[in-house]
């Protein structure tokens, strides 16, 4: 069966060889049909991003996933560089910039902080969706459809079996998205996309 959606996972981890969680997430989905995975720090260790190649890959996929560990409430710096260089005026936004219109995009992050660290309290804490607002806004400007994030919290406390379970959940979510098992409207009701498999 031809997958309904072609999925591109752009994986940003500057220390992928030391990763416990992201490594398992990637391994859980890498053999799936219809999924392309790019290890961005391997491809661009010196940050010299091949803009044309990146734009071509975006055009050839229907759902883009930015996967990375949460760093200082944001992404590792190569993703910011990628956004600055690849999502340019006339391609991704602006009157003529409609190349990405209608594509779906989602963030998949792992956080050292536990779930409780991301529950708003007296204005001292922010939720993950709130912290991801700049990414969401960027996506809106590019006329793409932003999906709720896939989130794995408390990475340092996770045991091997918890990490494997996170990998299995990631695979299920990606499978559902690829096969369009749920409408986008249903998916958008969740704050974390993890909940669609519950």
Ligand X SMILES: Cc1cc2nc3c(=O)[nH]c(=O)nc-3n(C[C@H](O)[C@H](O)[C@H](O)COP(=O)(O)O)c2cc1C
| Interaction site with ligand X (CB under 6 A) | 19-22, 69-73, 110-113, 155
Q: Minimum distance from CB of 72 to ligand X (Å)?
A: 5
Crossing angle for the helix pair 160-178 and 21-29, nearest 10 degrees?
Answer: 40
Closer to ligand X at the Cβ: 39 or 181? 39
Beta bridge partners of 124: none
28 vs 111 by CB, closer to ligand X: 111
Kindly tell me the burial class for residue 163, based on how many C-beta atoms sit within 10 Å of its own C-beta (0-12, 13-18, 19 or more): buried
Q: How far apart are CB 78 and ligand X at their closest, in Å?
A: 13
Written as six digits, the tokens of 126 are 């922010």
CB of 39 to ligand X, least distance (A): 12
User: Which is closer to ligand X, CB of 168 or CB of 181?
Assistant: 168
Listed in sequence order, the residues at least 6 apart from 72 whose beta carbon sits closer than 8 Å to its beta carbon are none
Instruction: Calculate ∠ Cα 103-26-63, nearest 5°.
Output: 5
Minimum distance of ligand X from residue 14's CB (angstroms): 8
Cα–Cα distance measured from residue 79 to residue 10, given in angstroms and rounded to the nearest whole number: 9
Nearer residue to ligand X within complex by CB, 3 or 112:
112
């Amino acid at each position: 069966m031809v997958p309904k959606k072609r999925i591109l996972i752009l994986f940003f981890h500057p220390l992928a060889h030391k990763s416990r969680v992201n490594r398992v997430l990637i391994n859980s989905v890498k053999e799936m049909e219809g999924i392309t995975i790019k290890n961005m720090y391997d491809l661009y260790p010196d940050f010299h991003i091949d803009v044309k190649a990146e734009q071509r890959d975006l055009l050839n996929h229907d759902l883009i996933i930015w996967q990375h560990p949460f760093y200082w409430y944001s992404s590792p710096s190569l993703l910011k560089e990628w956004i600055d260089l690849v999502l340019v005026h006339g391609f991704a936004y602006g009157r003529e910039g409609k190349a990405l219109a209608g594509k779906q995009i989602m963030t998949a992050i792992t956080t050292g902080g536990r779930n409780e660290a991301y529950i708003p309290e007296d204005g001292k804490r922010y939720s993950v969706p709130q912290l991801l607002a700049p990414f969401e806004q960027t996506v809106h400007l590019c006329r793409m459809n932003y999906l709720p994030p896939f989130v794995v919290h408390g990475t340092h406390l996770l045991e091997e079996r918890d990490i494997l379970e996170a990998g299995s959940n990631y695979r299920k979510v990606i499978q559902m998205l690829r096969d369009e098992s749920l409408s986008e409207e249903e998916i958008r009701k969740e704050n974390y996309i993890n909940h669609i498999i519950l």
